[in-house]
Homo-oligomer: A and B are copies of this chain.
Amino acid sequence: MEEPRWLDAEELQTWYTLAGLLVRLPSALDAQLQRDAGISLFEYQTMASLSEAPERSMRMSHLAMLAEGSLPRMSQAVGRLEKRGWVRRTPDPTDGRFTLAILTEAGWEKVRETAPGHVEATRTYVFDPLTRAQARQLTEISRRILRAVDPESRCPGERPAID
């Protein structure tokens, strides 16, 4: 039962500001996509990931990892996208245990028309208000926190591009 290492005033300041960011930035991006395209950020990221993948297809488990979501969540999300005609599913011919999610032509079109607005929002909210140097610092800061949260995770830049 040791005396906890309380936060000082400056750290408290940082934490409150960061906490606000953690809530408001995702919600703002979600709102833009919901309003302009009728899809959630998670659904957009899912389709965007597929659009960058070879053959525009990917295994469910890989897709879930890329989008930082659980497998059941991804299963439901892809189910919704499938119902709207933007994705279809088929067993992996290589190994029937895997399921391939495939972006349809309509899905690719949807990503194409949704991307500009989303990128614009991201730029408006994140990059426009920061200097180049601050953006770089943000990368380094985020990497450090990510490593502290989950040491297993690969956070360096070896992830294939999505956006």
Residues of B near A80 (CB, < 8 A) are none
Q: Is the CB of B116 within 8 A of A18?
A: no
Q: How many copies of this chain are found per oligomer?
A: 2
Chain B residues with Cβ below 8 Å from A125 are 145, 148-149
Let me know if A24 is at the binding interface, CB within 8 A. Answer: yes
A97 in the interface, Cβ–Cβ < 8 Å? no
Chain A 93-111 interface mask (CB, 8 Å, partner B; 1/0): 0000000000000000000
A55 at interface, CB cutoff 8 A: no
With a CB–CB cut-off of 8 A, which chain B residues contact A26?
Answer: 22
By a CB distance below 8 angstroms, the chain B residues around A153 are 20, 24
Contacts of A127 on B, CB cut-off 8 Å?
Answer: 7, 11, 14
Q: Is the CB of A129 within 8 A of B157?
A: no
Interface residue tally for chain A (C-beta within 8 Å): 62
Residues of the B chain whose Cβ atoms lie less than 8 Å from the Cβ of A150: 24, 28
A7 touches B122 (CB 8 A): yes
In the bound complex, CA of A50 to CA of B137 (Å): 35
Asked if A147 lies at the interface with its beta carbon under 8 angstroms from chain B, I say: yes
Complex: A141 Cα to B141 Cα, angstroms: 11
* Given A4-B115, A11-B135, A163-B12, also A18-B126 (CB < 8 A): yes
Q: Are A14 and B138 in contact (CB under 8 A)?
A: yes
**Cβ of A10 under 8 Å from chain B:** yes
